């Protein structure tokens, strides 16, 4: 499809589907945690998701290469990906889906901070800096709220989600500052899934029992999560990136934590207070401001 300068109706619809799938990610992880230990679940999910992705690449005959200088940074990005999901999956044993989603989806904030120092032309403007301040205020407000519907180690889970967001932010920064940018988006995902699949399944026995109360329902949720949320969802997102401007797509990013919080309330009866909603709104507004481009920047 020909590249477009603005988000059209098709693009908006695809982005909403992407946000819906990503918003389902945390609730599904928490459900599957009841049957499969977090480290093993995250490793197996990467391995399962890699299969349909490779099949898609074979069918479409896309040429993948490791001779373009992307191998080293690709493996490093895969390491960041593995640590990110080990932290997130483990955190959902301790904290609620709603709180995890607020902290985990602060990723664009840390990308903006890192890009300010690492990427020429990506300095924090007044608008972006104000968005960063607003979002951090929302995070602080969310941290201040009691987490009675989670475990006694809820604060640890919240902090792990925040740390996971920082590792997640490292992936686009590595991509943009190394030869990993030479690789196709699909190849970047292959690096992340392949490295995390090997690493996480290898270290999973270090974190205790591998299988908990695995039922057919949980196994089905895991398969759906691997094939639909990860393999299909990520591929759809990369396709959208190849057609529409990333700066316009960023304005949809606030939908994902909203959707995740909604499913946390519906599935797990997460406690949603008025103060928590204010915190969520502040984080969402901050993300929109941080990812916003000025007219001058858009013309570059």
Q: HSE-up of 263 (CA within 13 Å, CB side)?
A: 22
Q: What is the DSSP string of 64-122?
A: --STTTTHHHHHHHHHHHHHHHHHHHHHTTTS-HHHHHHHHTTHHHHHHHHHHHHSTT-
Residue that is written with structure tokens 């969402």 in the block: 284
CB burial string 100-126: b at 16+ within 10 A, e below? bbbbbbbbbbbbbbbbeeeeeebebbe
Count of positions (residues) in the chain? 300
52, HSE (Cβ side, Cα atoms, 13 Å):
18
Residue 27 lies in a domain: yes
Domain that includes residue 96, residue range = 9-299
> Does residue 2 lie within any of the structural domains?
no
Burial class of residue 217 (count of CB atoms within 10 Å of its CB; 0-12, 13-18, 19+): exposed
Is residue 236 included in any domain, yes or no? yes
How far apart CA 126 and CA 57 sit, in angstroms, is: 42
Tell me the two tokens of residue 62.
């896309």
Position 221 in a domain: yes
Residue 3 belongs to some domain of the structure: no
Q: Model pTM?
A: 0.89
The total number of structural domains in the chain stands at 1
Are the beta carbons of 207 and 32 closer than 8 angstroms? no
* 4 within a domain of the structure (yes/no): no
Distance CA 23, CA 111 (A): 20
* Backbone phi and psi for residue 70, each to the nearest 5 degrees, phi listed first: -95, -5
- Say if 265 falls within a structural domain: yes
Per-residue confidence (pLDDT) for residue 150, from 0 to 100: 57
Q: What is the mean pLDDT of each run of 10 residues along the chain (300 residues)?
A: 77 89 93 96 94 86 86 97 97 94 91 90 89 93 72 85 96 92 88 96 94 95 91 80 69 81 92 90 89 51
Q: Longest C-alpha distance within the chain, in Å?
A: 55
204, two tokens: 């999973």
Does residue 1 fall inside a structural domain? no
**Spatial CB neighbours of 148, under 8 Å, sequence gap ≥ 6:** 271
């Amino acid at each position: 499809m020909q590249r477009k300068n603005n988000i059209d109706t098709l693009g908006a619809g695809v982005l909403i589907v992407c946000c819906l799938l990503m918003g389902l990610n945390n609730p599904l992880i928490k459900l599957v945690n009841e049957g499969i230990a977090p480290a093993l679940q995250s490793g197996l999910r990467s391995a399962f998701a890699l299969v349909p992705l490779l099949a898609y690449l074979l069918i479409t005959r896309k040429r993948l290469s490791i001779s373009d200088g992307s191998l080293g940074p690709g493996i490093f990005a895969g390491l960041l990906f593995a640590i990110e999901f080990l932290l997130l999956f483990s955190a959902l044993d301790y904290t609620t889906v709603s709180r995890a989603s607020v902290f985990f989806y602060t990723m664009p904030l840390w990308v903006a901070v890192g890009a300010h120092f690492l990427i020429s032309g990506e300095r924090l403007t007044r608008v972006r800096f104000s968005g960063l301040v607003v979002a951090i205020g929302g995070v602080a407000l969310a941290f201040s709220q009691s987490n009675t519907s989670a475990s006694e180690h809820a604060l640890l889970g919240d902090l792990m989600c925040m740390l996971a967001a920082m590792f997640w932010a490292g992936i686009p920064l590595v991509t943009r500052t190394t030869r990993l940018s030479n690789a196709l988006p699909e190849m970047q995902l292959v690096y992340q899934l392949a490295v995390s699949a090997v690493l996480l399944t290898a270290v999973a026995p270090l974190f205790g029992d591998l299988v908990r109360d695995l039922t057919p329902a949980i196994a089905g949720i895991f398969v759906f999560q691997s094939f639909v949320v990860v393999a299909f969802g990520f591929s759809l997102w990369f396709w959208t990136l190849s057609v529409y401007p990333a700066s316009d797509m960023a304005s949809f990013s606030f939908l994902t934590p909203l959707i995740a919080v909604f499913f946390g309330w519906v599935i797990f009866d997460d406690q949603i207070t008025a103060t928590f909603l204010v915190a969520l709104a502040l984080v969402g507004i901050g993300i929109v401001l941080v990812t916003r481009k000025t007219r001058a920047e858009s013309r570059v």
